[in-house]
Structure 1
Amino acid sequence: MDEIKAFILSFQFMTRIPINIQIDADRNDFHRIVKYFPLVGGFIGAVASFMFFVSKNIFPREIAVTVAVASSYILTGAMHIDGFADTFDGLFSNRSRDRMLEIMRDSRLGTNGVLALVFLIILKILFLTDIKSNLIYSTLILMPLVGRFSIILAAYVSKSARGGEGLGGLIIGKISMVELILSLLFTSVIGIYFVHFTALLKLLAVSSIVTYIITKYISMRIGGMTGDTLGAVNEFAELVIAVSMYLMSAIKL
């Protein structure tokens, strides 16, 4: 698979954008697309920012922020937040490891998942609403940008809980150090346009630490990571960025 095909496939895999190009990908080479995930995240953030810009002159800021957040989920087919909800349903079911994995596969949404999903969206909207106006666009772009890098980091430091099965098994434990570094480079090159270098380092450090802790906790509970738990990592990282940007703007860290 050449790099242009890998780049296109990353958009096809991570979004619901109708790119009508047929690309044959070998399962063993699929991990090569991950380095482009941050570019996809930056694009999603740009769309969310545009939706906020369009909405803010028509509706109150709270509604404009809600439109921006909703647009990011529509663009991705809600794939990551669905995994976030499934992860909470499984981990907090107080069942055996195998049963938790079965619950995550279940398309039905349980109470734990619903509550986690509701609180996540509320917190995102509240923090984005209270962030200073000059930082809202930067935050909307940095959230999915760093969130997609966090998926790569989590997949790099873990193994598959399902023995390589499922979508997560395509990349979990298969990412090379070079691919991790390239994804970090893409994240940094885009991020530096929206916050100064020191702030970006802080954001990446905090989100990476949180990602590592969550990944190790999940791995301890179910023996590894899955596609659902990678989605959960993305959502946690996005929330961490929203909270961090709020704190940095409020207390000038």
Structure 2
Amino acid sequence: MDTLILTLQLFTSLPLNKSVEVSDERLIRGVALWPAAGIVIGLFEALIFWAAIHIFPISMAAALALLGELWMTRGFHLDGLCDTADALFSSRSRERMLEIMKDSHIGTFGVVAAIADLAFKYLLLTASAMPVFLLLAAPVAGKMVQSLCMYRAVYPRKSGLGKSYIGRIPLNIAVISALFGVLWVAACLGAGIIFSGIGCRTATGIPALFGVVALCFLLAWLFRRHMEKTIGGMTGDTLGAASEIIEIFYMLLVAALEGVL
């Protein structure tokens, strides 16, 4: 329970005031529960959207849901995306990129990344036939690939929060985290297809579900490989960037799936 509380304190704004001892061992065990934090975030967003859609147009409901996400997450992963964008598009040396990521100021590319992130989410939500199920699954999709990004990865700095778990999580924790997320995402997508009224035969629907999940893991692996070549490994910022990228990629895949089915 303490590990779950620490995980929620790390990723959410929930008022959990219990003092929990922070240790590398607990942080590593907590990776298995990262999708649980995604579920909490998704439930909060979906609740806001569901309540707002009964009062406002879908455009306003989507905007309120995204504002709710920013409040709940404190922009934790979005900040990592901005820092990563500033570093990667600086065209500087590996050492300078790592310094840029540590800089608390946001640059032009970081601003562009944040705007693009929120704009894509907004447009995909308003265009979806299953927006509630999309909100329930997207944050978990971003979390389910994190173990792949960390397992046996290199942390390119001497110190930092990411050093506690990047490259240090055992295989069983990585598998539990990934499977936890996969089951939730697949269940939400399947329920969304059924309850949204999208016509779908089982013969095409089940492969489509696992195809979406597989493509998310493939993109996460490609992102990790690119980071290893560019900055020498994975950092906390690049983990945040991976989470945001996979969230949007998942939503794009669902949009494509809606069109096909």
Please indicate the TM-score interval, normalised by the length of the shorter structure.
over 0.9
Q: Is the 8 A contact 1:35 1:179 kept in 2?
A: yes
2:250 aligned residue: 241
Q: Is the 8 A contact 2:59 2:126 kept in 1?
A: yes
2:213 aligned residue: 204
Q: Is the 8 A contact 1:211 1:237 kept in 2?
A: yes
Change (3 A) 1:157 1:66: farther
Aligned pair 1:147/2:142, yes or no? yes
Shift in Å, 1:5: 1.4
Aligned pair 1:75/2:72, yes or no? yes
The 2-side partners of 1:116 and 1:193 are apart by: 30
Query: For residues 39-118 of structure 1, what are the structure 2 equivalents within 5 Å?
Result: 39-118=36-115
Identity rate, percent: 32
Which amino acid in 1 is paired with 2:226?
Y
The more displaced of 179-188 and 211-220 is 179-188
2:17 aligned residue: 20
Q: How many residues get paired?
A: 246
The DSSP-based 3-state class of the residue aligned with 1:204 is helix
Q: Is the 8 A contact 2:81 2:237 kept in 1?
A: yes
Aligned pair 1:169/2:163, yes or no? yes
Deviations 1:42-65 (A, max 9, x none): 111011000101111222211211
The DSSP-based 3-state class of the residue aligned with 2:112 is helix
Give unpaired runs (5+ residues) of structure 2.
Answer: 191-205
The DSSP-based 3-state class of the residue aligned with 2:143 is helix
TM-score w.r.t. the length of structure 2 is 0.90
The 2-side partners of 1:243 and 1:157 are apart by: 29
Shift in Å, 1:157: 4.7
Deviations 1:100-139 (A, max 9, x none): 111111111100111111111111111111111xx21111
Aligned pair 1:131/2:128, yes or no? yes
Aligned pair 1:159/2:154, yes or no? yes
Give unpaired runs (5+ residues) of structure 1.
Answer: none
Q: Is the 8 A contact 2:145 2:216 kept in 1?
A: yes
The more displaced of 144-153 and 231-240 is 144-153
The 2-side partners of 1:114 and 1:57 are apart by: 33
The DSSP-based 3-state class of the residue aligned with 2:14 is coil
Aligned pair 1:216/2:213, yes or no? no
The 2-side partners of 1:120 and 1:247 are apart by: 18
The more displaced of 41-50 and 168-177 is 168-177
1:230 aligned residue: 239
TM-score w.r.t. the length of structure 1 is 0.93
Deviations 1:145-184 (A, max 9, x none): 1101122221115211213x21211211011110111112
